Amino acid sequence: MISQARSHSVKRIADSTVRRLSAYLRFLEESAVDGVETISSDALARRGGTTSAQVRKDLSFFGSFGKRGLGYSVPELTSSLRDILGLGREWNVIIVGAGKIGMALGQYEGFEQRGFHVTAVYDTDPGKIGTQWGSILVRDMSRVEADIAEVTPDIAVLAVPVGEAQDAADRLIRAGVKAILNFAPTQLQVPGDVSVRNVNMAMELEGLSFILSNRDR
Amino acid sequence: MISQARSHSVKRIADSTVRRLSAYLRFLEESAVDGVETISSDALARRGGTTSAQVRKDLSFFGSFGKRGLGYSVPELTSSLRDILGLGREWNVIIVGAGKIGMALGQYEGFEQRGFHVTAVYDTDPGKIGTQWGSILVRDMSRVEADIAEVTPDIAVLAVPVGEAQDAADRLIRAGVKAILNFAPTQLQVPGDVSVRNVNMAMELEGLSFILSNRDR
């Protein structure tokens, strides 16, 4: 029943809901470390920057959790959220672009902890190809299609200069990649069956400069 | 009139609107490079992943732009959006945490291009303090309050481990910082007059694993 409800509703789940689920999961994990066994929707709401009604609505998409007046069991809800977010398995990730951002991402421990396993990094720079980052080898971008044909990564992280991003995305998608985390400050054009998330750090700073500029007027 | 309208409405401007304004600005800048002089709300909408009605609504918060049937002047709208987003001036930015993410951010050219000037990086690690990144010196975190008292940065970028993030934020805020870009995967508790934006790269990957996990059911 739950799995039916899930496949039914998943298309309507907004990105903002998924972000809140991720925030709830982080709070649950921290609470477990502190020995907390049950948690109220109020506490989850405060942490997710939302209301307890929204918490109940967010969770209700995926089944029935918690008991009225008793709150949620921390281990049970943690496990359910990990399952909902697809964190019960390992995801193969490649990084395209061995610049500073690509390098920081390749060595970011938070990915591995969540089951995102970086298998390779690609670049076109002969000075970088063949170098080793911890356990990860920087490979020649000209080989990316052949490599993907052998083992298709679940997710490709795009950390190339803005002028190369669309071409790189096109190549990855033609080779079979269905999910891209894009760090280039451009809106990629992709087919409907490909999912893209954008991380634009300058844009986040602009969000702050917008607030700062408009606060004093 | 326009400035009145702006100060009136700015509190109601959603983050999602500000993100679209940033996306429009990027598209306008790319169009200018290609020699485009006027642009339709349809073209802006495609680029911002939205509708032309939404584009007109987003821009209408800030005044009257464009002419019906003629579209928007690329240089005029570019200039207005830069002004709206607070990009007409230089913003002083400090980075707290000289790890891999902090280092990548400190050397990220996209910040400087937008007027976000990184003035200092702070860390508690004696092995890092005193080292130089290009023109930026890594300074002792114990000095951050004294430094802020001299020159208050407009924005602090927090790139410390999750367990240190709230303490570091508290120190920065007590010293007078009003805007934080937080890379630590935790929800900071801050007073109402402090603005926080979060960049959580593992959470972005979770957004993709959520879609991938739920797609096949």
β-strands A72-73, A38-39 pairing: antiparallel
Domain final position from B33, B51, B84:
B84
In this structure, of B4-13, B103-112, B127-136, B179-188, the range with the lowest mean pLDDT score is: B4-13
Domain boundary among B33, B49, B84: B84
Report if residue B166 sits inside a domain: yes
Query: What is the pLDDT averaged over residues B61-85?
Result: 86
In this structure, what CATH number is given to the domain that contains residue A52?
1.10.10.10
Please give, rounded to a whole number of angstroms, the shortest distance from the CA of B109 to a CA of chain A.
10
Q: What is the mean pLDDT of residues B14-40?
A: 88
**Which pLDDT value is given to residue A162?**
85
pLDDT confidence of residue A55 = 92
Please report the pLDDT score of residue A173 as a whole number.
97
Q: Give yes or no: residues A15 and A40 share one domain.
A: yes
CATH number of B168's domain: 3.40.50.720
Q: Does the residue B122 lie in any domain?
A: yes
Element (H, E) at B5: helix B2-9
Does B29 map to a domain? yes
Q: Are residues B27 and B105 in the same domain?
A: no
Cβ separation B187–A27 shorter than 8 A: yes
Confidence (pLDDT) at A60: 87
- 8 Å CB contact of B22 and A100: no
The pLDDT score that the predictor gives to residue B82 is 92
Of residues B14 and A138, more confidence is placed in: A138
Establish if B217 belongs to a structural domain. no
pLDDT, tens digit, 9 for 90 and up, residues A33-87: 889 999 999 989 887 778 899 999 999 888 878 777 788 999 999 999 999 998 8
- What average pLDDT does this structure show over B142-159? 96
**pLDDT (0 to 100) of residue A201:** 82
Nearest to B32 by CA among B72, B87, B69: B72
Instruction: Give dist(CA B71, CA B137) in Å, integer.
Output: 47
Chain A closest-CA separation from residue B76 CA (Å): 19
A185 DSSP assignment: S
- How many angstroms away from the CA of A18 is the closest CA of chain B? 6
Q: Look at residue B211 in the predicted model and tell me its pLDDT.
A: 86
Q: Strands of chain B (E only): list them.
A: 38-39, 72-73, 91-96, 116-123, 132-133, 136-140, 155-158, 179-182, 195-198
> Directed axis angle between helix B41-48 and helix B52-60, to 10°?
100
Query: Is residue B212 domain-resident?
Result: no
Shared domain check, A75 and A105 = no
* Residue pointed to by tokens 């080989």: A143
Between residues B65 and B73, which one has the greater pLDDT? B73
Q: Which whole number is the average pLDDT over B152-156?
A: 96
The alpha carbon of residue B166 and the mean position of all alpha carbons in its chain are separated, in whole angstroms, by 20
Taking the C-alpha atoms of residue B176 and residue B208, their distance in angstroms, rounded to an integer, is 37
Looking at the fold, whether B196 and B111 belong to one and the same domain comes out as yes
Q: What angle do CA B199, B200, B206 make, to 5 degrees?
A: 140
Confidence of residue B210 (pLDDT cuts 50, 70, 90): confident
How far does B159 lie from chain A, in Å, by closest CA? 12
- Grouping H, G, I as helix, E, B as strand and the rest as coil, residue B51 is coil
Domain contains B63: yes
For residue B216, being part of any structural domain is answered with no
Which among A86, A100, A214 has CB closest to B209?
A86
Residues with Cβ within 8 Å of residue A138, at least 6 apart in sequence: A98, A121, A122, A123, A128, A129, A130, A131, A132
Lowest average pLDDT, out of A28-32, A63-67, A79-83, B69-73, goes to: A63-67
Shortest CA distance from B33: residue in chain A: A163
Structure tokens belonging to residue A84: 């909902």
Specify the amino acid at residue B35.
G
For residue B53, give its domain range.
Answer: 2-84
Cβ atoms A92, A119 nearer than 8 A = yes
pLDDT tier for residue B33 given thresholds of 50, 70 and 90: confident
- Provide ipTM, 2 decimals: 0.81
Q: How confident is the model at residue A12 (pLDDT cuts 50, 70, 90)?
A: low
Both tokens assigned to A16: 């903002």
Please indicate, yes or no, if residue B65 is contained in any of the structural domains.
yes
Structure tokens at B208: 């993709």
B186/A114 touch (CB, cutoff 8 Å), yes or no: no
B25: Cβ contacts below 8 Å, ≥ 6 apart: B78, B81, B82, B85, B87
pLDDT at A7 over 50: no
Chain B positions in Cβ-Cβ contact with residue A111 (cut-off 8 Å): 201-202, 205
Which of B64, B84, B104 is where one domain is finished? B84
For B204, the closest of A13, A181, A187 (CB atoms) is A181
Per-residue model confidence as pLDDT tens digits over A161-216? 888 999 999 999 999 999 999 998 888 999 999 999 988 888 888 888 888 888 75
Number of domains in chain B: 2
pLDDT at residue number B144: 97
Q: What pLDDT is stored for residue B215 in this prediction?
A: 75
Most confident of A107-116, B34-43, B173-182, B199-208: B173-182
Residues A70 and A97 in one domain: no
pLDDT for A177: 97
Residues A95 and A78 in one domain: no
For residues B199 and A199, give the distance between their C-alpha atoms in angstroms, rounded to a whole number. 8
Give the count of Cβ contacts less than 8 A between chain A and B.
196
**Measured distance CA(B7)–CA(A55) in Å, rounded:** 33
- Among residues A11, A191, A181, the alpha carbon closest in space to that of A105 is found at A181
Do residue A183 and residue A100 come from a single domain? yes
B106 and B147, same domain (yes or no): yes
A79 and A95 inside one domain: no
Tell how far CA A90 is from the center of its chain: 13
Nearest CA in chain A to B20: A203
A153 and A126 co-located in one domain: yes
- Do residues B195 and B97 share a domain? yes
d(CA B28, CA B51): 17
Q: Is the pLDDT of residue B7 over 90?
A: no
Q: Is residue A154 located within the same domain as residue A171?
A: yes
